Each structure stands twice: as C-alpha cells, then as structure tokens.
Amino acid sequence: MNYSAQYFIQQLNLAEHPEGGYYISSFRAAEDIAVRDVQRPIYTSIYFLLRSQDISHLHRLQSDELWYYHAGSPLTVHMIFPDGTYEAKKLGLNVEAGEIPQIVVPKNTIFGSSVEEADTFSLVGCMVAPGFDFEDFELFTQDELLADYPQHEAVIRKMAYQTIK
C-alpha cells in the first residue's frame, strides 16, 4: 500500500508541533524519576511526521532523545553538539547508502530535522529519557545561534526560525 503524509496525520491523529511537523504522544512511563530537582516520567515517546515542505526547527532538550524510523522517506537529523561540532545523520533503512534505522541525539544538543526528497514525508518515533516536558524544550532563532555558532551559518539559516512564532 502506498501511504501518504495525510493518511498518517489522520489515522494517528497527529497535531502540529511547535518546532514544525506533526506529532502525538504514544507512550508515557507510569513511573516518575527525580531529574534536575523536578519529577519527570522515566520515558516518553511520540510519533513524529515531517513533510518535505516542513522543517523541524533547531531546538534543544535536557534529556537524550532516541529516534526510530517507521515509514516514508529518510529523515536527516541535524545536530550541533555542545562543543560546537556539527553532524547530520540520515534516519532510514538504506544502510548501504549510510542511513541508519535509529539514532540518539544526546541531551543538550541543538538539533532539528528535514526531509531532503521533494513531495514526500518521513514518519519516525522519538523516545525521550528521562521523559519529555515542554519546560525542558528550548527553541532558537537564527540570531541566537549565529552568535554562538557562526561556522554553521548555512545550516542555521536553513533550520532555525528567523523569529520565534
């Protein structure tokens, strides 16, 4: 069967995400853990869908995030690590072409994602441990990131908001 982005958006009841794309919470641990003087679930997980015309804008979490490929085209995850280095990894199933079916974005890494192929989408799963909370979510503007990482201007201009919406 040939699935579309709209099929998954409707069937999984996905909503627009503030960073771009569409998501829905799929799992949340029943147990909490004390982290940074607050309580967080041990883990949380979402379905995340990004269309080729969308950008998952550069943001940062205070927890590790594991990404799992599910369907559609490969997804490129762009990462600026705390030491200022940049890396892009392709999430997908064509291992011979350098894609991998799962990746980790370490905590405190600035990251976003994009679908490089035109007129398509990528459906992935994202698990955050300790669990996600919007209190731990930082979204960045181009100016904020260019002040600290001018060496990554091209990716910042492509992947960050000009101003926060």
Q: How confident is the model over 127-164, as pLDDT tens digits?
A: 999 999 999 999 999 999 999 999 999 999 999 999 86
pLDDT given at position 128:
97
Percent of the chain at pLDDT exceeding 90: 93
Contact of 26 with 45, CB cutoff 8 Å: yes
Backbone φ, ψ for residue 75 (5° rounding):
-115, 130
pLDDT tens profile 67-93: 999 999 999 999 999 999 999 999 999
- Phi-psi group of 112: left, alpha or beta (phi > 0 → left; psi -120 to 50 → alpha; rest → beta): beta
CATH number of 3-157: 2.60.120.10
Give the position of tokens 């990404």: 67
Backbone φ, ψ for residue 54 (5° rounding):
-105, 160
Euclidean distance between CA atoms 7 and 81, whole angstroms: 34
Under DSSP, is residue 51 helix (H, G, I), strand (E, B) or coil? Answer: strand
What is the distance between the terminal CA atoms of the chain, rounded to a whole angstrom?
37
